[in-house]
Chains A and B, each alone.
Chain A
């Protein structure tokens, strides 16, 4: 388990698959929030960058017993001890887990683009920049200064909007607080969700909603058998979804 017990903070997320309507707002909100680049053709999914990627699941039954569900997959910020698979293999220390928060960060300017972390990640949560990002002329004005744009040849991935944590702390510091209250720091995807299917917070805080939901009997994690200890939990009342969670993605 990651997260410095003494810091008392280990951020995690719970996504209720039963409530998810598959609208993809989380994925779009993430792209806008994090200056994720886009190209004219994004249909080669091996090369397309989508920190929050949506998977379509189905129960494998024939019409009309068929049911589908969407599963939003971000970086799961694995809690495996002592290292998550991706940071362990990085030759240049460009990716690292912050043990005060449990967030796995990746600093693109330090990355040499060897892509070892991409092969180490069991969840396809890391992306390589095959091209330099390009925004059609006026769209550079919509880039947010909170996240620096990347370049060709480096890896990037979900940061759990860690810049929002930085900004939330600034707000708290102004009030003389060093501790954040629940809901002060929320990633863009969680904030956008119209069905309120996503919950974010401190898994170590027993009173937090996210900790309560993570302990629910409906909760599961992706590929739990690998021992990566993801800090993103999913909820579903459907057995077939639970079963799919242990299959290779």
Chain B
């Protein structure tokens, strides 16, 4: 074996290792890291939006509505559920759980929010929906078409759900629409 050969061999190995390291890191970064970063939480009840609209004839506003003072009640209270679900409305496991664990002991259902902003953020639904006439789906997607409640991915580091809107998104849109980007428009 000459030293030259040795070098060639080792060079080949080196590049192989480079590719291993490169793809490995890509794999870690793109596949493993997101799985590690986000914890998965499931809704306490596997809520079906479609069935409530189609079979119960409910509209979005029955549960997601503006309060009289202009603030937005995003998640319905147990009382709203209990109006119909005093007794189980069917045979499913979720249904039985709803009645026995929440309706009967009068315990609020701990829904997990997909888009809960931190407490220093003031987001006005009224400004966006009433004044700017935006559609709910513009930000939240077409939730109404969901037949089951998707799991919520929560960032382990920040504690925020993965679908949360970030500040640059707010700023970009405000800038495009010539709306003030002053700090205290959105922060409290």
Contact pick for A107, options B71, B120, B131, CB 8 Å: B120
A170 contacts B by Cβ under 8 Å = yes
* Interface check B42, CB cutoff 8 A: no
Indicate if A50 sits at the interface (CB-CB under 8 A).
no
Q: Distance in Å from the Cβ of A157 to the closest Cβ of chain B? A: 12
Contact, CB under 8 Å: B188 / A147:
yes
Q: Is residue A96 within 8 Å, beta carbon to beta carbon, of the partner chain? A: yes
Binding site for B on A (CB under 8 A): 94, 96, 98-101, 103, 105, 107-110, 145-149, 159, 162-163, 166-167, 169-174, 176, 178
- Specify the chain B residue showing the minimal Cβ separation from A170: B70
Specify the chain B residue showing the minimal Cβ separation from A95.
B183
Expressed in whole angstroms, the Cα–Cα distance for A178 and B180 within the complex equals 14
- Chain B residue at smallest Cβ distance from A97: B182
**A169-B127, A171-B70, A174-B126 are contacts. A146–B188 as well, Cβ < 8 Å?**
yes
Complex formed: what's the CA distance from A73 to B124 in Å?
Answer: 31
Q: How far is the CB of B69 from chain A (nearest CB, A)?
A: 6
Q: Please report the C-alpha to C-alpha distance between residue A29 and residue B106 in the assembled complex, in whole angstroms.
A: 35
Closest 9 CB pairs of A and B: A170-B70, A105-B184, A98-B182, A173-B126, A148-B120, A174-B70, A148-B119, A170-B126, A171-B70
Shortest C-beta distance, B143 to chain A (Å), equals 23
Within 8 A of A (CB), among B143-188: 180, 182-185, 187-188
Q: How many residues of B contact A (CB 8 A)?
A: 21
Q: Are A98 and B69 in contact, CB atoms less than 8 angstroms apart? A: no
From B122, B185, B188, contact of A98 by CB (8 A): B185
Q: CB-CB < 8 A to B119: which residues of A? A: 145, 148-149
Q: Does B66 make an interface contact (CB < 8 A)?
A: yes
Q: Which chain A residue has the least Cβ–Cβ distance from B132?
A: A173
> In the complex, what residues of B have CB within 8 A of residue A170's CB?
69-71, 124, 126-127
Q: Which residues of B contact A148 (CB under 8 A)?
A: 118-120, 188
B127 to chain A, nearest CB (A): 6
CB distance from A178 to the nearest CB of B (A): 6
B residues less than 8 Å from A107 (CB atoms): 120, 183-184, 187
Q: How far is the CA of A218 from the CA of B74 in the complex (A)?
A: 49
Given contacts A107-B187, A174-B126, contact A167 B180 (CB under 8 A): no
